Amino acid sequence: FFHLSRKPISIVKSELHKNCSSVSELATAAASSSQQPSRVSLHTDMDCSWKPFDKSNYKQLLGAMDYSFLCAYAVGMYLSGIIGERLPIRLYLTVGMLTSGLFTCLFGLGYIYNIHSLGFYIFVQVANGLVQTTGWPSVVTCIGNWFGKGRRGLIMGLWNSHTSVGNILGSLIAGYWVSSNWGLSFIVPGLIIAVMGVVCFLFLIEREYSLLMTEGGGRVRGKSGYDTELLLPRDNGTVCVPVQQVVVVKSESEPSAISFMGALRIPGVIEFSLCLLFAKLVSYTFLFWLPLYITKAAHLDAKKAGDLSTLFDVGGIVGGILAGVISDKLGKRATTCAVMLLLAAPTVSCLADHDCMLLVCGGLVNGPYALITTAVSADLGTHKSLKGNARALSTVTAIIDGTGSVGAAVGPLLAGLLSAGGWDQVFYMLMTADFLALLLLLRLVTKELTSRKPRPISTVE
């Protein structure tokens, strides 16, 4: 639902700036055969584009809106992980979802109240970017608390499909109203994420609770490394104490949260963070600009372009799952990412000419992105150098995803600037970013391939 609420802006872009020349030609033809030409002309002027995106620099303005959201998201992510380590995940996530719903709805109200100020839309994007940073560190920490390394690639690969599912649902919901009332394309997703915030508050369980039976019938209930209490069965008001000795372990104090610099010293955090910067640059450029590219290149309306762009997201689901399964079997996260990045560059170049490559490209582009932000982040957040301190998970996740979000902010901005000279320049940028992401992983790939005792992660508990 976080991703669902981010998607409408990419669908609505083609409505904020329509192809005014074709609209004017239709209006002129209608006016020549109409008895009321002035009314037709007025309708065209009002409905062609939404001010201030009706000028020739509309791509730069749309890119600035994307940059505002993503830059705020990148900056806020570093703080969000540190804060998230020190607050209950359930409350932190609920507040983030409610405020995300508020600002998503606020953007849509710009249509309802006929607001044409660029400053208003940029303010809403910045605020929404900041509050949406509550999501990723919280949910990765929660899933990491529930599953160990042995199944992490597969489980998180399946779980991470939620990002693409959210993008697909966001495209469909926003596309339903985009041509008639694009304000509802934001208001409806905003209300949905707010409602789910309440559901999260009521039902989210932050970590696994184990229930162990003693030989004498007693039950030991544990909380993931913290308190363990003995629950004794009662029979007719009397307490039956088991004969066997039961040791109740209670920690003196919870482990302290890790510092920012301490998280950076974990082996692999810097390399994967910088790799994600370029991988996420590619992914988010497609997220924010693919529907507009399809609209212009294939001459489709906004709804059809949004529906076609969902093929990219479907490919992302498959790619994320495959990356998780393969990395689990081989025990080589960096190598799996590197191979997919190597194959992604040529498919990006083919995308400029063949729409059928959307599915394949989505899998290869989003596979490494999904693996790094989920299983790799969870692995590094529970690295052996931490000596069992699992409270580093949120901070490590925030550092990796925050660095990636810098690329996510730069990518759509560059796309807006480069597309003015033709879409080919945008695709060259994306291919370059893929190769740079690959280069940053070479040291880790070499280390994995030359390891004397390569063991699949599935054998490690």
What pLDDT, in 10s, does the model give residues 376-415? 877 777 666 555 555 667 778 888 888 888 888 888 888 8
Q: What DSSP state is assigned to residue 231?
A: E
Task: Give, to the nearest 10 degrees, the angle between helix 269-298 and helix 8-16.
Answer: 40
Q: For residue 176, give its domain range.
A: 1-210+254-450
**CA 314 to the chain's CA centroid:** 14
Q: Is residue 272 part of a domain?
A: yes
149 compared with 432, residue with greater pLDDT:
432
Q: Which residue, among 459, 460, 402, has the nearest Cα to 140 in the 3D structure?
A: 402
Q: Is residue 238 part of a domain?
A: no
Structure token pair of residue 282: 């590619």
Q: Is residue 226 part of a domain?
A: no
What is the percentage of the chain residues whose pLDDT exceeds 90?
Answer: 26
Mean pLDDT of the chain: 78
User: Which range, 97-101, 222-226, 413-417, is most confident?
Assistant: 97-101
CA 80 vs CA 346, 373, 459: distances in Å: 36, 15, 33
Q: Is residue 232 part of a domain?
A: no
Q: Is residue 233 part of a domain?
A: no
The CB density around residue 267, as the number of other CB atoms within 10 Å, is: 12
User: Which range, 112-121, 342-351, 405-414, is most confident?
Assistant: 112-121
The count of structural domains within the chain is 1
CA 293 vs CA 13, 41, 348, 427: distances in Å: 10, 28, 13, 11
Q: Is residue 421 part of a domain?
A: yes
Q: What is the pLDDT of residue 185?
A: 94
Asked whether the predicted pLDDT for residue 288 surpasses 90, the reply is: no
- Give the CATH number of the domain where residue 84 resides: 1.20.1250.20
Q: Is residue 283 part of a domain?
A: yes
H runs (alpha helix) in 113-183: 118-131, 135-146, 149-159, 161-177
What is the percentage of the chain residues whose pLDDT exceeds 70?
Answer: 75
Q: Is residue 245 part of a domain?
A: no
* pTM for this prediction: 0.69
Asked whether the predicted pLDDT for residue 141 surpasses 90, the reply is: no
> Which of 235-244, 371-380, 429-438 is the least confident region?
235-244
